[in-house]
Chain A
Amino acid sequence: MEQRNTVIHLEHVRKEFSVDNRFFSKGKRTVKAVNDLTLDIKKGEILGLVGESGSGKTTLARVILSLTKITGGSVLVDGVDIGKASKEEKKEFRRKVAVMFQDPASNLNPRETVESSIMRPLVLHGMPKKEARKKALETLRSVKMDERYLYSYPHQLSGGQLQRIAIARALAIDPQIMILDEPTSALDVSVQAQILNLLLDLQEQRNLTYLVITHDLNVIRYISDRVVVMYLGKMVEVGPTDVICTNPSHPYTKALMAASPILDPTLRGREKSIMKGDPGSLIHLPEGCHFHPRCPCAMALCAKEEPGCTALAEDHQVWCHLCK
């Protein structure tokens, strides 16, 4: 395999939010949303990110975009430390990296038509209005929407239409890196297929880099080259897509893959493996392995000592005592 350059490098990244217990304040408590995470994203790859709801995925995306200040570690994009970037470098960065957020509606201005929403970032980056208008039309078509929706306002659009506008806005700036947080969660499977095909075509034509966050395991399996699995603010496993989806090693990844709904009503009565226990707390993190209170394989060691990284193959790492 060719040696590909790293475009995003995360080193020991931490992000903590303080929760002031407004009523029973006894010392400061923090939510450790991203906890000591080290990861490289290579040029031209599609990296999938999955994990429990509330495990820090969106926070990680915001960290990469420097929309939130990290509490530790560093983030390098194309070799530039975004914490120390100059104004020029930041501007450059915004042209290079596009993002599509999880709640598309809340990121669109309710008083702006679809057309001007897509045009605004383009004009900000210095594109002449006429050209920007053409671009808006082009991208709207590419996300499979009737061009007459250009003059609609956000409240006149359905959930999936808003999601496609958000994708169109991200695509319009011709980015090199795209961060897509649940890009197709509001789309039916046929429009989803059109959008995934479009994303793949663009990626191949322009060698783009994607970070795709989603709960849809079918989408992850289809689109990504590598998959990162997070649990309570930490990476628990990373590896090539087929390994993670068909032959995972970490007990959490296994539980996640096993819980995927089956597309056949006659199998409803089957034995379901619903994971035991309540979701873990990012405020009172368990000692040892964060997953041990819910892990079906936990051993005495797991409650005491945090597992280190074990490389099962050059490109497959897992954080679990079982896998040593």
Chain B
Amino acid sequence: MSEELLRLENVCIDYKVRDGYLSAVKDVSFHINRSEIFAIVGESGCGKSTVAHSIMRLLGKNAKVTGSILFNGRDLQALSDKEITGVRGHDIGMIFQNPLDSLNPVYTTGNQVNEAIMLDGVDKLEGWKKVIELYKDIKMPDPEKRARAFPHEMSGGMRQRVMIAMMLSRNPALLIADEPTTALDVTIEAQILEIISQLKREFHTAIMLITHNFGLVAEVADRVAIMYAGELVEEGNVYEVFAHPVHPYTRLLMAALPRQTKREGRLQTIDGTVPRLTESKPGCRFANRCPLAKEICFDQDPPVRRLSGTHSFQCFFAEEVE
């Protein structure tokens, strides 16, 4: 099944801040099909969570979104508040990046998961049984006891798994998972990845996986997008991108993985920092740090180019590297 479920077209997102407009996302377009795991990686602060929140329409009042976001052909931005609440409850689920922010400290975690289950008209007792089942699925130790624990009584990884359970209870058509396994050890992470792959296989769930972990991308993603400073710089089939990354940022990012010990020297980094962009001007946003940059990169937007039908990148010179 390669039926398209989500499509973003030329999406730009600006935040109104004290000193002007911060351009968090610039001209981003991509789509996700049913039964597909689409991974987004990129520089910290490059706009990944902002894109995710814009789909759910959860951005604050200071955010301005342009471009179109289509879900199942429907323009999500045109929906009424009531309609979008329905979409959030049933069609699109999200695992947030910071579980402590999204769990209510005064209710037990089991109650909070049960709330989500009861939205479907399940009664409380029945829902509670489901909670325990879900806690078993996500490998929570002592599920009955832990369901009665408050968020602060749980470890970082347990809270993260509560978020996963809450989302599993909804069984949405599109699941947005923003860094879902950062607090989990590798063995539990492997089990959670298995659950995610199962959702894709059995329920044809489409999954947008935001992560910094190239290991996760290599293990489960079908396609991957790389973002830098609000722009989508490369996108493609995961096998192609791993075998042949083209954009200079992608290549430098992949080289920065710690594969050694400190005795072998310092890690390779990308010189400089990402600028905080509050004025709009053309040009490639990576230019000030890019080893290939020439004058043109600083004053013109780089074109989107294709390496194959399933692999594209945004750069003037990239394919000249080798």
Question: Which residues of A does B touch, CB under 8 Å?
Answer: 17, 19, 21-23, 29, 50-54, 58, 102-103, 105-106, 144-146, 148-149, 151-152, 155-161, 163-164, 182, 185-194, 196-197, 200, 215, 217-219, 221-223, 241-242, 255-256, 259-268, 272, 274-275, 278-284
Contacts and interface: CB of A to CB of B under 8 A. Distances in A.
Contacts of A161: 44-45
B187 A274 contact: yes
A58 B262 contact: no
A185 to B, nearest CB: 4
Nearest to B108: A22
Given A255-B187, A259-B187, A274-B194, A19 B139 contact: no
B141 to A, nearest CB: 5
A186 B155 contact: no
B187 A218 contact: no
Interface string B140-167: 1110010011000111111001000000
Q: Which 6 A-B pairs have the closest CB atoms?
A: A160-B44, A53-B157, A261-B215, A193-B267, A222-B258, A190-B256
Contacts of A188: 41-44, 212, 253
A282 B141 contact: yes
Contacts of A146: 273-276
A157 B47 CA distance: 10
Given A217-B186, A219-B258, A187 B212 contact: yes
A23 B256 contact: no
Contacts of A189: 212, 214, 253-254, 256-258
Nearest to A185: B182
A106 B49 contact: no
Contacts of B60: 155
Contacts of A281: 141-142
Contacts of A193: 256, 258, 267-269
B120 to A, nearest CB: 25
Nearest to A267: B218
B83 interface: no
Contacts of A222: 258, 260-262, 267
A21 B201 CA distance: 39
Interface of B: 15, 17-19, 41-45, 48-49, 60, 97-101, 136, 139-142, 145, 148-149, 153-158, 161, 179, 182-191, 194, 212-219, 221, 238-239, 242, 252-254, 256-262, 266-270, 273-276, 278
A260 B186 CA distance: 6
Nearest to B98: A105
Given A260-B215, A284-B142, A159 B43 contact: no
Contacts of A164: 44
Given A189-B258, A222-B261, 10 more contacts: A53-B157, A106-B98, A148-B276, A158-B48, A185-B179, A189-B214, A223-B262, A263-B215, A278-B139, A281-B142
B212 A158 contact: no
A29 B253 CA distance: 48
Contacts of B239: 265-266
Contacts of B267: 193, 196-197, 222
A158 B218 contact: no
B269 A261 contact: no
A261 B156 contact: no
Interface centre among A22, A29, A190 (most CB of B within 10 A): A190
A262 B184 contact: no
A155 B261 CA distance: 35
B145 A19 contact: yes
Contacts of B161: 53
A158 B44 contact: yes
Contacts of A260: 186, 215
A310 B268 CA distance: 39
A19 B108 CA distance: 13
Contact of B219 (A21, A105, A255, A268): A268
A215 B98 CA distance: 17
Contacts of A151: 18
B41 to A, nearest CB: 7
A164 B273 CA distance: 13
A202 to B, nearest CB: 13
B218 to A, nearest CB: 5
Contacts of A106: 98, 100-101
Interface centre among A157, A196, A280 (most CB of B within 10 A): A196
A191 B261 CA distance: 17
Nearest to B44: A160
A102 B183 contact: yes
A115 to B, nearest CB: 13
A191 B44 contact: yes
Contacts of A267: 218
A161 B274 CA distance: 11
18 contacts: A53-B184, A58-B155, A148-B278, A152-B17, A159-B179, A160-B45, A182-B182, A186-B179, A188-B41, A190-B270, A192-B258, A219-B258, A222-B258, A223-B258, A265-B221, A265-B238, A265-B242, A268-B218
